[in-house]
Structure 1
Amino acid sequence: MSPNIWRRAVPIENAESAIDGFTSPFAAARASGKVKNVHIEADKDGRAALADIFGVVSVESAVADLEVTLWRKEGLRVRGRVSARLTQACIVTLEPMSASVDEEVDMTFLPEGSRQIKRDFSEDGALLVDPDGPDAPEVFTGGEIDLATIAIEAIALGIDPYPRKEGVGFEPPAEEEEAVVEPDDAKESPFAALKDWKPKP
């Protein structure tokens, strides 16, 4: 799955609401040719905020182990794994059910204003994206990125939007049988009297 696809799984304004309990700002100036290992784990408040963002019953854990390196001299590359344990409501029975998420992350970033940022637009100004081409780097501002926001959106991609307990299926509503109208033998047709009628010679 393309990282750029899962980054759109959760609107940024919603993802940032969990920052208080699940945050890890990383300054681009810290990056170098050497790998920087970053471990992020949501605390109690962060897990509660994540549950609200994802629309699940609860989040028991949310963990990210990431590697950050310098990319193209001024950008960042973030790779690693994000995992979570959560409780969702079965869409059929509404009973709580356990679920887990395990997603890989591999993204690149460039600072706003970088000459390396290339975007192709159509004549009407729409951004052109090649679904089969390499993922374009994301743009960051303020000299840093929040690694936790990346993790939040990765978890969102891995959550089943239609959770269903094992063995539980949908039962379509029973079809109502159409009433069959039987002819009323007792009621004589208005043309019955004509069946034996013969014209006079």
Structure 2
Amino acid sequence: MKNDNNSAGKPPFSYPVKVGNISANAVTVKVSADDRERKDLAEIWQVLEVKSLQAEVYLSRWKKDGVRVKGRVEAEIVQACVLTLEPVESRINEDFEQIFVPEGSKLARVVAKDAAEMVLDPDGPDLPEEFAGDTIDIGEAITEFAALAIDPYPRKQGVEFSDHIESTADAKSDRPNPFAALKDWKKD
């Protein structure tokens, strides 16, 4: 995930890890966002506030030159209710897993027997993410998975949208048909 809104080019929540320091045995890393990072995340996620963001991540080698990042992200955010615009607090508690491989690695390519069609399982694992250089940013991965867990239509508890009534196909409307003026028009 690249953040084009940040003028310095640095993501709002970054935790770079040198790939050479990761061994086959999983290493546990705990990270949390500070005040500035939470403010920047709230702006990017278009929420009122990010009260907290923390993650526990397990890093290990994957195959020969890849890295497996597995963990859990937890966050508390405040969003505007889609009906009343009042603040609504939400909790994010998501498990995630991502594989990183070096740029140009054969492990990043999907090999298909039939080149005309590629079938991806939506419930299956994600394709490996490529990285350049010798560093991966697990902070970016954490923020991506947290962003995917944000409720796009938060609603304050007990609030319902009852003013709108769906019309049925057979219901007659009191509004005039906008095409009624065209019914007598004939092509010369």
The TM-score with structure 1 as length reference comes to 0.73
Aligned to 1:171: 162
Q: Distance in 1 between matches of 2:29 and 2:91?
A: 21
Q: Secondary structure at the match of 1:83?
A: strand
**Aligned mate of 2:30, from 26, 34, 39:** 39
The one-letter code matched in structure 2 to 1:63 is: Q
Would you say the 8 A contact 2:57–2:70 is kept in 1? yes
**Aligned mate of 1:102, from 93, 115, 128:** 93
Q: Which runs of 5+ in 1 are unaligned?
A: 1-11, 180-201
Post-superposition CA distance 1:147-168 (Å, at most 9, x none) = 0001101111111000001110
**Aligned mate of 2:3, from 5, 14, 26:** 14
How many angstroms does 1:136 deviate by? 2.3
Q: State the percentage of identical aligned residues.
A: 36
How many angstroms does 1:22 deviate by? 2.3
The TM-score with structure 2 as length reference comes to 0.77
The one-letter code matched in structure 1 to 2:27 is: K
Aligned to 2:186: none
The one-letter code matched in structure 1 to 2:3 is: N
Computing the radius of gyration from Cα coordinates, the structure with the larger value is 1
How many angstroms does 1:31 deviate by? 1.0
1:148 aligns with 2:177: no
**Aligned mate of 2:53, from 55, 62, 69:** 62
Post-superposition CA distance 1:76-113 (Å, at most 9, x none) = 00111001001000000000111110110111111112
The one-letter code matched in structure 2 to 1:40 is: V
Q: Distance in 1 between matches of 2:99 and 2:163?
A: 46
Q: CA RMSD in A?
A: 2.8
The one-letter code matched in structure 2 to 1:139 is: E
Structure with the higher helix share, 1 or 2: 1
